[in-house]
């Protein structure tokens, strides 16, 4: 019997794109929450829905552990959770209602639940945990009165009641290491090795992001940013290296290596401890200076993902991205000079983008020759300035079903079909493995059908 059963709703096989990628990571935030609960003397069990069929495994977990509280705690460091996907929401609501039918108290923590409190309270949850989850969940599990717990929403007379917001935790070194013993690591290892020939694990060095991209939703950390000490991150890296022997590490921070001084000290600590594991991370183009890149390479970095978004300065400025197109080129050059894979996130469909801006983005990709790209369509999420800009254009569909949906949610320049074709063509050109010429023909057909001039791309 457990006091609390923790779970999450990121079921891999509900998302065909993620099945093709086959890069599953354990839910890090859920494991951190478990570690904090244990530190407070609370007995914790864990149901991992990543691989298991939830309809079978979750009911069995309820029978096995007979918890007094079920918590669907999403991984705040996983971009899939941040995307607020409809299928993940449906699974979370099913878990909540299934537990409540058995008379078990239920709570949920996620970006989507924070944005849609009424939906989750009406759908089977007693509590929604808003903001950073650890302290709020610990107080709830210890039996504190709901109205006295900061960062909580709950039902009162059929209406949602909100308590005062909880300040973010600035002392990240005080949080215990994730409860890795709750995870079947070998199942993740097997999936990775079968798909890629190597095994990757995840960790984080910071929380939040201080930049102001107007399409980026921040319902958990807001505009705050806090980093762990370089020594503590290097020590955790050593622990993972020793205990689980990963071939790679994915630093799932929103932004890694924000501070040059932090990065240099981290590289020194990794070298001193012999903790190096090849790792990839995401950051900003303007942070990838020669000195920072050299320190990253010394620490073991082999791949950096950067939010380039667009090759048009006009679109970058409209996004309040805060970078210049030439910095994208400089960052790619700096990374390649040190043997680090330079990868770009791109975003099409932002308001005001025309074929001219699309052409500039494609040219930028061809000129910088990134090692890989990730493509998204501008996706309005609640709480962002971008959402406010297009709110009056939004229809019934307010969320993508899965990560490969790529639907236009507002009145953009082109159709969803066009942007999907554009994504396919550019991916084929960068990654190979197909016929990009035929893919570009499809893009030109769809662009011509829109009534606009196609331009010169081929």
Distance CA 280, CA 153 (A): 36
- Spatial neighbors of 445 by CB under 8 A, at least 6 apart, are none
The predicted structure's pLDDT at residue 158: 81
Confidence at 457, pLDDT banded by 50, 70, 90: low
On average, the pLDDT of the chain sits at 96
This prediction's pTM? 0.95
Give per-residue pLDDT as tens, 330-358: 999 999 999 999 999 999 999 999 999 99
- Over 80: is that where the pLDDT of 442 sits? yes
- Over 90: is that where the pLDDT of 56 sits? no
- Over 60: is that where the pLDDT of 382 sits? yes
The predicted structure's pLDDT at residue 415: 95
Confidence at 5, pLDDT banded by 50, 70, 90: very high
The predicted structure's pLDDT at residue 454: 45
Confidence at 123, pLDDT banded by 50, 70, 90: very high
- Over 90: is that where the pLDDT of 200 sits? yes
Give per-residue pLDDT as tens, 161-195: 999 999 999 999 999 999 999 999 999 999 999 99
Confidence at 452, pLDDT banded by 50, 70, 90: low
The predicted structure's pLDDT at residue 378: 97
Q: Sketch out the chain's domains with CATH numbers.
A: 4-162 (3.40.50.280), 172-413 (3.20.20.70)
- Over 50: is that where the pLDDT of 302 sits? yes
Residue range 279-292: average pLDDT? 98
- Over 80: is that where the pLDDT of 35 sits? yes
């Amino acid at each position: 019997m457990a006091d609390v059963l923790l779970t999450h709703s990121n079921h891999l096989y509900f998302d065909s794109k993620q099945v093709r990628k086959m890069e599953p990571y354990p839910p890090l935030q859920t494991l951190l929450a478990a570690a904090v609960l244990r530190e407070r003397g609370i007995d914790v069990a864990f149901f991992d829905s990543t691989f298991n069929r939830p309809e079978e495994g979750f009911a069995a977990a309820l029978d096995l552990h007979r918890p007094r509280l079920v918590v669907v705690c999403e991984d705040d460091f996983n971009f899939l959770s941040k995307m607020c996907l409809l299928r993940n929401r449906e699974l979370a609501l099913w878990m909540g209602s299934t537990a409540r039918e058995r008379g078990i108290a239920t709570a949920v923590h996620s970006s989507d639940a924070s944005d849609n409190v009424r939906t989750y309270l009406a759908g089977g949850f007693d509590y929604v945990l808003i903001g950073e989850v650890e302290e709020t969940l610990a107080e709830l599990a210890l039996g504190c009165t709901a109205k006295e717990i900061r960062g909580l929403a709950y039902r009162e007379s059929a209406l949602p009641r909100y308590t005062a917001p909880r300040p973010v935790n600035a002392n990240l070194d005080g949080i215990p290491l994730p409860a890795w013993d709750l995870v079947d690591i070998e199942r993740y290892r097997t999936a990775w090795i079968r798909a890629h020939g190597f095994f990757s694990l995840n960790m984080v060095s910071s929380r939040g992001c201080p930049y102001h991209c107007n399409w980026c939703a921040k319902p958990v950390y807001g505009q705050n940013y806090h980093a762990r000490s370089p020594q503590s991150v290097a020590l955790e890296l050593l622990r993972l290296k020793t205990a689980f022997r990963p071939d790679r590490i994915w630093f799932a921070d929103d932004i890694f290596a924000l501070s040059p001084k932090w990065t240099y000290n981290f590289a020194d600590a990794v070298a001193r401890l012999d903790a190096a594991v090849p790792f990839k991370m995401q950051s900003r183009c303007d942070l990838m200076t020669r000195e920072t890149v050299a320190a990253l390479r010394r620490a073991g970095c082999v791949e950096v993902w950067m939010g380039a978004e667009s090759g048009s300065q006009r679109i970058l400025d409209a996004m309040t991205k805060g970078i210049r197109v030439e910095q994208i080129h400089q960052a790619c050059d700096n990374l390649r000079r040190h043997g680090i894979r330079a990868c770009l996130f791109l975003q099409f469909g932002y308001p005001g983008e025309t074929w001219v801006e699309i052409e500039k983005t494609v040219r930028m990709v061809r000129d910088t020759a990134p090692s890989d790209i990730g493509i998204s369509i501008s996706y309005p999420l609640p709480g962002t300035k971008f959402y406010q800009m297009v709110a009056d254009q939004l229809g019934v569909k307010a969320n993508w079903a899965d990560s490969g949906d790529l639907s236009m949610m507002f009145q953009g320049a082109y159709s969803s079909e066009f942007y999907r074709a554009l994504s396919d063509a550019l991916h084929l050109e960068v990654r190979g493995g197909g016929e990009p010429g035929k893919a570009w023909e499809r893009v030109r057909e769809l662009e011509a059908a829109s009534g606009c001039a196609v331009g010169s791309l081929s």
